[in-house]
Copies of this chain bind each other. A is one copy, B any other.
């Protein structure tokens, strides 16, 4: 198989990653205040009993976003072993983890270089934190 030439039947942009959350305002506050995202769009679907909130670092026309889905009266969701994490860039990971820790955010893995080195390329400087529903967020040195 070869790379698809662009055409109207071939996707051409990554729009968002969707995560289901139990407490919408708690999650919006986390992505906004802890991760520095802006709330870009909020849509309520009373007929479907759910609300969607899109957050990110820039307009959806040019940037991928996070979509939070809140199902009315949402119960807890399970974490499978397949989905890994969402990664964000931050200039100063140590300072970011200090700030997040003071906010009460769970730091799963403190700032440091990746444990292993790739055969090509550099060893990233990273940290892992947890969002309010336990989704993992990777911080990577910009």
Contact = CB atoms under 8 A, between A and B. Distances in A.
Contacts of A88: 11-15
A116 to B, nearest CB: 3
User: Which bracket fits the contact residues of A?
Assistant: 35 or more
Interface string A45-84: 1111010100011000001111101000000011111111
Given A44-B120, A82-B77, A96 B33 contact: no
Nearest to A15: B87
A99 interface: yes
B12 A36 contact: yes
Contact of A17 (B2, B17, B38, B96): B17
Contacts of A134: 82
Nearest to A35: B11
A74 B17 CA distance: 24
A1 B16 CA distance: 25
Nearest to A36: B10
A42 to B, nearest CB: 8
8 contacts: A4-B34, A10-B96, A11-B36, A14-B56, A14-B88, A17-B17, A17-B85, A80-B80
